[in-house]
Amino acid sequence: MKLSHYFIPTLRDVPSEAEVISHQLMLRAGMIKKVAAGIFSYLPLGLRVLKKVENIIREEMNRAGAHELLMPMLQPAELWEESGRWKAMGKEMARLKDRHDRDFCLGPTHEEVITDIARNFLQSYRQLPVTLYQIQTKFRDEVRPRFGLMRGREFLMKDAYSFHETSEGSLKEYQNMYQAYVRIFSRCGLAFRSVEADTGNIGGSTSHEFHVLAKSGEDEILSCDQCQYSANSNLIQKKQDDVCIKCKKGKFQSYRGIEVGHIFYLGNKYSQSMKASFLNEEGKSVYFEMGCYGIGVGRTAAAAIEQNNDKDGIVWPISLAPFQVALVPLDISDSKVKTVTHALYEGLKKENIEVLEHDKDERAGVKFKDIDLIGIPIRVTLGMRGLAQNKVGIKLRNEKEEKMVDVDQALHNIIETRNELFRKINPST
């Protein structure tokens, strides 16, 4: 992509409305635009990052044997009355009437719709187990939306739901999803913890949250320095120096975390209230054993920024970066600079490496600031001075030193650098 033909409306100044760094940087980097409180447009650069998170989630959910579907945003009141949540949900659930005066809500979650699908189509144990997921927009009318994508009202979420014959099968799937979540956040290149958690208004008996660690996190996590057991501090009500309740050896360390995922073993809370049953091997009608598994897509992108930033801007992990490589030609009218830039651009495209060329006629300092702000992991500088010695500069966003590389080794070197960054977060590839 050539920057002069793209749409990245960066801002020089820190927007006054933004309290947290991810919100500030997403606005400054031209990733999002506010439409109303807690409601945003994802501009092209922001959407690219969302798609990166989405694709990692999709690949790992498919690998775990889940199947993607797409449920509607508008949901009829009848389904929520069956589960008892039409009354139980407060003002966080936005409601409206259609032109025929029928009641609907904007889906804050999809347990009711998916349970309705299961009871319609899954009649026999032979059709089980089934795990379904979607990546869909949800709406929750927060009292005080803030922090940009960290606490929005309209937001993108991956939610999965599993249907099993027995609680053993369901708990095994819970572990399967747990492992998928570990792979997802590892592949996102993030430092995270899975923590025991409260089940809240979703219900069920077992749940884990996945937290991206960041000094700015809203939640306190206590994590044993010996056995790695972690829990939400409001759940176990332990103090930082207490001895771990399980291994009895380690001490709890306190971290700040941003919740990006939450998995629940539900049992038959929803299947019972909505009369969702199937015939088991003995021909007996029994309720589905269910689980549900959520990830905030935009929130994961925002948490990645909270964890990875410096005074100059975002420092994307390679797997979430909107572009992996930035080409920065400094003397854009020089013919050698032009030729080498063009060759590298085409060479990288051919290798399916996402490259952004800063082809605008601006000073070197301005160009570097732009690339640092939007956080491209690998910056390649092409200047007349370097090229006079047949060298281009390669610099990582999270390192200070620029290394000078021979022009004819540059493409190979960039590809290797990129592969090395991927290997660091994902040893299996």
End-to-end CA distance of the chain: 26
Cα–Cα distance for residue pair 251/227, rounded to 1 Å = 9
Nearer to a second copy, 218 or 362 (CB): 362
Shortest distance in whole angstroms from residue 213 CB to a second copy: 28
Backbone φ, ψ for residue 30 (5° rounding): 70, 35
Nearer to a second copy, 118 or 184 (CB): 118
Shortest distance in whole angstroms from residue 40 CB to a second copy: 7
Shortest distance in whole angstroms from residue 109 CB to a second copy: 14
In sequence order, what are the beta bridge partners of 258?
A: 212
Cα–Cα distance for residue pair 202/270, rounded to 1 Å = 10
For residue 245, what are its two tokens?
A: 């309740």
Shortest distance in whole angstroms from residue 141 CB to a second copy: 5
Shortest distance in whole angstroms from residue 135 CB to a second copy: 10
Strands (DSSP E) contained in 225-269 are 230-232, 252-267
User: Is residue 388 within 8 Å of residue 335, measured between CB atoms?
Assistant: no
Shortest distance in whole angstroms from residue 121 CB to a second copy: 4
Torsion of CA 170, 176, 178, 182, to 10 degrees: -170
Nearer to a second copy, 137 or 419 (CB): 137
Shortest distance in whole angstroms from residue 289 CB to a second copy: 17
DSSP H helices in 188-295: 233-236, 269-273
User: Is residue 134 within 8 Å of residue 110, measured between CB atoms?
Assistant: yes
Shortest distance in whole angstroms from residue 382 CB to a second copy: 23
Nearer to a second copy, 30 or 217 (CB): 30
Nearer to a second copy, 99 or 400 (CB): 99
CB-based burial, 178-210: b 16+ in 10 Å, e otherwise: eebbebbbbbbbbebbbbbbeeeebbbebbbbb
Q: Which of 269, 272, 225, 285 has the alpha carbon at shortest distance from 251?
A: 225
Q: Which residues bind a second copy (CB under 8 A)?
A: 5-7, 9, 30, 33, 35-36, 39-44, 46-47, 50, 65, 67-76, 79, 91-92, 94-96, 98-99, 102, 104, 106, 113, 116-117, 120-122, 130, 132, 137, 139, 141, 143, 153-154
Nearer to a second copy, 117 or 315 (CB): 117
Q: Assign residue 283 a region: left if phi > 0, alpha if psi is -120 to 50, beta otherwise?
A: left
